[in-house]
Amino acid sequence: MRAIRLVAGRELRALFDAPVAYVATVASLLVVLSLFSTEFFLAARLDLTPLFRWIPAAAAVLLPALAMRLWAEERRRRTFELWVTLPLSAAEVVLGKFLAGMGIWLLFLLGTSPAVLLLYALGDPDGGLILSSYLGAILLGALLLAQALFLSSLTREVVVAFLTGCAGSVLFLASGAPALTAILDGLTPELAPGSLVAAHLSALLRYDSFCAGYIGLGESAWLLGTAAVFLALNTWTVRNIRD
């Protein structure tokens, strides 16, 4: 556990030494809060629905940007060899990098707290709903970061790592979009491929359950389990590179 903390600390410092963490996090935060403010005052409703509607889109861009820096750029600069010389297992390196990325994601979510304070200043919002929505955002971030890290570890090209990470995130999110599900189901109603894809692949459906105030064991296990699969794949790729 100490080794994982050391890797996470080193990666966090490296992220903040470069502008990518600052620029990507602050830009994503400003965009999300701006969109929330616009929808919130137009709708005149005391809830955070507009905020949590835009958080997945921010995650689909921010987390691949972080993953790009954590693996692909390191391989491009050949600083990966540093990890080979240290008495660390591939799993410890992967988990340390994952925790560093999650640290930035938690900072991003913390940055949305002005929206929560605004709601409490204006009225008495549902605190349980807010907590479950944030929990869903944390778990969704874990999944999207894990898949982006895995894809980033497969290449030395940072642009390729970023684009594939974004594409993977969009796949997990768009597969649960009602419009896409309806279109696919309409093509072959007897097979209902859209509903099938959404049921087995959509992270968005699980996230929406949290945003509706439902903290389900199945939804939590699916998000965490899928993230664990990608972390295991990431560990396998790193072990092969080291060997």
Q: What residue segments make up the domains of the chain, in order of their start? A: 2-242
pLDDT of residue 81: 64
For 206-230, the pLDDT digits (tens) are 999 999 988 888 899 999 999 999 9
Number of C-beta neighbours around residue 17 at 10 A:
9
Terminal alpha carbon distance of the chain: 23
**CB-neighbour burial class of residue 181 (10 A; exposed 0-12, middle 13-18, buried 19+):** buried
How far, in Å, CA of 212 to CA of 46, rounded?
15
Greatest alpha-carbon span in the chain: 59
Tell me which residues of the chain have a pLDDT lower than 50.
Answer: none
How far, in Å, CA of 175 to CA of 198, rounded?
5
